[in-house]
Every structure is written in structure tokens, then in C-alpha cells.
Structure 1
Amino acid sequence: MYKLYGSVKSRAFRVLWMLEEIGEPYQLIEAAPHHPDVLALNTSGKIPVLVDGDAVITDSTAIITYLADKHGKLTHAAGTIKRAHQDSLTQMVLDEFDSVLWTAARHSFILPEDRRVPQVKDSLKWEFERNLERLGKSFDGPFLQGDSFTIADITATHCLNWALVAGFPVSDTTMRAYAKEMREREAFKRALAHLQD
């Protein structure tokens, strides 16, 4: 059984959702960043952390990629053009959405107060909306890669939900509808149910 350290209101949600999608047993150990249990496994103190036997894996993208490859689900085979496109989509989401949201979070409550630049958030919101509009124009659906639901969809949906919670503009109707559809997946709902546990 996998052990996952983290919380639903963090990037650990991506791993929870992945584990629910592929039907693998796991134990969620609720832990905030820098919790002693997390620091014992990851010296940066960041979550999520996945323990698979004696192996410790950090970073949500690395974890869900590992799980996808190990179980042969929600991914295309390495060395194929479809996998290259999947990896490209995943990296684009990390670069154009995740990094923008993370920078806003850092300047809202993570960095020491004297290091925050709150004014940067207006620029970040503009950048996020521009990037989302561009993605919406190229989206054919029902998933980012057409008919294949992959780890790129998990990361993208998590970012879209994060944006809504953080008050970022998610005005592109195509991508709003996509995010709503993804939230209707049974595995998504099961992962989200950990909030009530």
C-alpha cells in the first residue's frame, strides 16, 4: 500500500486523484509542509511525499508520472509521439498555470511579509487569463489530449480549481466547462471526500 503525506488543499490532491483513478490502495497521512514526518522524508519539507516500500518520491508531477508509468494507466508509452505531446501539455500547465498561481501564493502568505510584493498579483492574473484563453482556443476535448484522459488533465484541473479558489479569472467558457466536467469524475469526488474525513 502506498503512503501519501500531504493534504487535500495542496498539490497532494493530484496524487490522491491519481490513486483513485487507477484504483490502487493507499493511506493518506495528513501532514502540512515542514511537518516533522515530512521533513524526515524530504529535507525541503515540501508536500506531497509518496512512500512506495523503501522508496520515497517527492514532487506531485514526478509522483503521478511514476504511478502512471508503473501501472500503465493515464499515460502514453514512453518514446511515443503521444507521450511527447502528453509531456509537453504537462510541462505547459506547470509553466503557464501552476507557476503563476504559486508565485501569487508566495506573495500572498508564504514569503516573509517584508519580502512580499502584493502588486505583482494583478500582472499574474492577467498572465493566467491570457494563457487560459490560448489553451481554450486549442482545446478540442473532451480531454487535453482529445479522447485520452492523462496525468496532464489531473494537473490542469487542479490548477483551474486552485485559480477559482484564489480569485483568479477563469473566464474562458471552454476551460470552465472542461474543469466542471473533470470535477464530475467519480475518482475526483472520492479524492475530495478526504476533506470531510
Structure 2
Amino acid sequence: MYEVIGAIRSRTRRVLWMLEEIGASYTRNPASARSDTARAVNPTGKIPALIVDGTALTDSTAIVQFLADRHGQLTFETGTIERAQQDGFTQLVLDEFDSVLWMAGRHEHYLPEEERIAGVRDTCAKELARNMAALAPRLEGREFLLGDVITVPDLILTHCLDWARSAGFEISEPVLEDYRKRLRNRDAYRRTLAMKE
């Protein structure tokens, strides 16, 4: 059995969604970032963490890909062209969506007041719109990023699109909004959306 450490309103949702998709047994500790519980398993205090056989794994993407590989679900086999394409999408989503959203969030909520830069949100909004416009044609006519098979980057992208919406950013491409709604409707994701702290 796995143990997930991290509040639901964070990247922890990605890990919980993956566990729900693969049908794995787990327990939850909804510790917040920088709490004593989080620092006990990750000196930075960042969440999520996944406890596996007494070892703490950190970083939501690393955890989700580990679970996919370990359980042989939502991933292509390592060493294949399809896996390289999958990993390419994972990196694209992290670079062009996750990092932009985190930059905006840090300057709005997390950095000390004296370190925040005015106008970062506007820059991030423009960058997100450009990145959405670049990705949209690649999703045309596809159920998922890699065609008709859901994979790790789909979980990360859906979470980022939800994050963007909750942070007040526009989903400027209809194909991405349709994709977001479709993925949010999966039974496994709906179960994570119903979870409380």
C-alpha cells in the first residue's frame, strides 16, 4: 500500500488521480506544504510525497511516472518511440504550462511582498495564451495527447488547465477547454475532485 502526503489543492491531485486510475490501494495524509509532516519526508517541505516501502519519493511528475511504469498503465514502454513522444509531451507541459502557472502563483501569493514583481501575472497570461495556441493544433481530432491512449502528460496537462482556471486565467483555445472537460469527466478524476482535506 502507498501513502500519499500532501494537500489536495496542489500537485498532490496528480498523484491521487494516477492512483485512482490504476486502482492502487493507498492512504492519504493531507499535510500542507512546509508543514512538519512534509518536511519530515522532504527537507524542502514541498508536496506531494509518496511513501513506497519506507522510501519517500518526491516531485509529482516523478511519482506519477514511477506509478505508471510500476503498474504498466498510462504509459508506453521505455525505449520505444511512443515513450519518447510521451516524455516530450510531459516536458512540454511542465515547461509551457506548469512553470508559467507557478511563476504567476509565486509572485501573487508565495514570495515575500518585497520580492514580488508587479506585472508578472500579465506576462504569464500572455505566455499561457501563446502556449495554448501552439498546443491546440496537436490536439485537434485526438482524444488524448498521444491519440486514443491516456498517458502521464494528460494527467499533468489537465491538472494545469484546472489550475489555470482556478487562478483566473482564460483557457483561450476551445479544443483545450473541451479536452479539459472530457478528462475531468473520467471516473478516477471525479473521485479526486470529490476528496476533502
State whether residues 64 and 152 of structure 2, in contact with CA within 8 Å, keep that contact through their aligned partners in structure 1: yes
CA distance in 2, matches of 1:191, 1:24: 14
Which residue number corresponds to residue 77 of structure 2? 77
Give the % identical residues: 47
CA distance in 2, matches of 1:162, 1:59: 17
Q: In the TM superposition, what is the alpha-carbon distance from 1:54 to its structure 2 partner?
A: 1.4
CA distance in 2, matches of 1:190, 1:61: 20
Matched, 1:130 2:119: no
* Residues 55-74 of structure 1 mapped to structure 2, 5 A cutoff: 55-74=55-74
TM normalised by structure 1 equals 0.98
Give the AA of the match of 2:8.
V
Which residue number corresponds to residue 193 of structure 2? 192
Measured against aligned partners, the alpha-carbon deviations of 1:113-142 in whole angstroms (never above 9, x if no partner) come to: 000013111011000011011111121310
TM normalised by structure 2 equals 0.98
CA distance in 1, matches of 2:160, 2:49: 19
Matched, 1:26 2:26: yes
Which residue number corresponds to residue 16 of structure 2? 16
- Segments of 4+ moved more than 3 angstroms: none
CA distance in 2, matches of 1:37, 1:8: 15
State whether residues 138 and 145 of structure 2, in contact with CA within 8 Å, keep that contact through their aligned partners in structure 1: no
CA distance in 2, matches of 1:98, 1:76: 22
Matched, 1:121 2:118: no
State whether residues 97 and 131 of structure 2, in contact with CA within 8 Å, keep that contact through their aligned partners in structure 1: yes
Which residue number corresponds to residue 161 of structure 2? 160
Number of residues paired by the alignment?
A: 196
**More deviation in 160-169 or 131-140?**
131-140
State whether residues 3 and 51 of structure 2, in contact with CA within 8 Å, keep that contact through their aligned partners in structure 1: yes
Which residue number corresponds to residue 170 of structure 1? 171
CA distance in 1, matches of 2:118, 2:75: 38
Which residue number corresponds to residue 141 of structure 1? 142
Which residue number corresponds to residue 99 of structure 1? 99
Measured against aligned partners, the alpha-carbon deviations of 1:17-71 in whole angstroms (never above 9, x if no partner) come to: 0000000011110110111111111001000000011111000000001000000
CA distance in 1, matches of 2:16, 2:97: 20
**Structure 1: 5+ residue runs without aligned partners?**
none
Give the AA of the match of 1:77.
E
Give the AA of the match of 2:189.
F
CA distance in 1, matches of 2:179, 2:7: 24
CA distance in 2, matches of 1:127, 1:155: 18
CA distance in 1, matches of 2:175, 2:40: 43
SS in 2 for 1:40: helix
**Structure 2: 5+ residue runs without aligned partners?**
none
SS in 2 for 1:194: coil
